[in-house]
Amino acid sequence: MKMAAFVVALLTFACVSVVVMNGQRTRGTGTDSHSEWVGRTLVQIESIKVGMTRKDLQRLFTAEAGFSSRQKRTYVFNECPYIKIDVEFQPATGPRESMDDKIRTISKPYLARRVLD
Amino acid sequence: MGPYSYVASWSVDSSNVSLDPTDGHTITATGDGYGDACTTADMGSQERYSWDGQNCYDDNYADPIGETDCTEVVCAVPTNFHQVGQGSDSGNGTLHFDYAWASTTGRLSDLSQCTVGEKVDYNSSDIPFPSPPFKANISPPNPTVLNVTGDLGSGQDDHSTPGPFVKPYVSKTVTATQIYRYSCPCHNSGNWETLVGPLSIVRSVSQNQDASWKFTITKSGSSATINPLP
């Protein structure tokens, strides 16, 4: 459990550091700024709702590499690819993945290594 | 068999199949084991009578009313796993593939308990990816294991490489080994069976003749490239 907490803290630090290095919104590297960034990120992630489209999702997230299906795919947060959600879709018409596919379920965000495949 | 207008009493001659309920117009037969099983719907009998010219008399013979039908319980597994079309370059050095498969029973829905997926192994010496030329600290899960449910009958696979690439560029190749595989609880105790592979996923940074550099990722004869690297 302590190890899990450490990993979460470490990855959060890594993500925040990337944002800082990229000159984006976060100021400083203290615990407060980390918390502030995570809090803001959660609000952004929670803005994605069931019934929205794949296009809506891809404003904030990028499809993760690897083997997947049109119906279920893992997405990584654009600002930090270690933050992921698993999303299930109701396919729109047509045989291939579409930006009009509707979100059916969204997992809670979680941290995991980046998949390249 | 069925449905019957009369309530039948159902039975089966093998433990390969169970019936629920055992009385009714229509019942559900579930495969519990593999092999033949004959199911009987018994609706009693009909007494046979004759006419002797003056009276109706009982022939003392009853015609059974019912039906028996036999079937074989089989384990459905994925088959004919194949690449659909050519791999394609979807930009930023990402290589995309589509795949499809079928069920040995001809019905994809029979694969609902099966899992189809991939396993990608990297050489431990390549983790993290050598930097330069790759971005620092690229450490994918090793092995990378990703699955979808078997009854979907199709999947897609994207092979990406996080950028930006790091200067000074040097020639370097990272090769991963991939298999596609399935697992069905009714087959081989649910152990994994390889469908395709091993396939090599080759990521290379190399120099062009004009001294510029390029990144190429290749699998199954298809490739995606960033040329030249910035």
The pLDDT value recorded for residue B30 is 87
pLDDT over 90 (residue B175)? yes
Instruction: For B136, list phi and psi in degrees, rounded to 5.
Output: -70, 145
How many A×B Cβ pairs under 8 Å? 68
In chain A, which among 80-109 make CB contacts under 8 A with chain B? 81, 97
Spell out which chain B residues touch chain A, with contact meaning CB-CB distance below 8 angstroms: 94, 117-118, 120, 138-141, 144, 146-149, 152, 154-162, 178, 180, 201
- Looking at beta carbons, which residues of chain A come within 8 Å of B155? 67-69
Q: Can you give the length of chain A in residues?
A: 117
Question: Which helix (DSSP H) or strand (DSSP E) does residue B47 occupy?
Answer: strand B35-51
> Which DSSP state fits B147?
E
- Looking at beta carbons, which residues of chain A come within 8 Å of B140? 113-117
User: In this prediction, what percent of chain B has a pLDDT beyond 70?
Assistant: 98
Sign of the Cα pseudo-torsion (A36, A32, A8, B128, in order):
positive
What is the interface pTM, i.e. ipTM, of the complex? 0.79
| pLDDT tens digits, one per residue of B220-230 | 999 999 999 99
Per-residue pLDDT band for B7 (boundaries 50, 70, 90) equals confident
Give the chain A residue nearest B175 (alpha carbons).
A117
| pLDDT tens digits, one per residue of B76-120 | 999 999 999 999 999 999 999 999 999 999 999 999 999 999 999
What's the whole-number mean pLDDT along residues A71-76? 96
pTM score, whole prediction: 0.79
| pLDDT tens digits, one per residue of B181-204 | 999 999 999 999 999 999 999 999
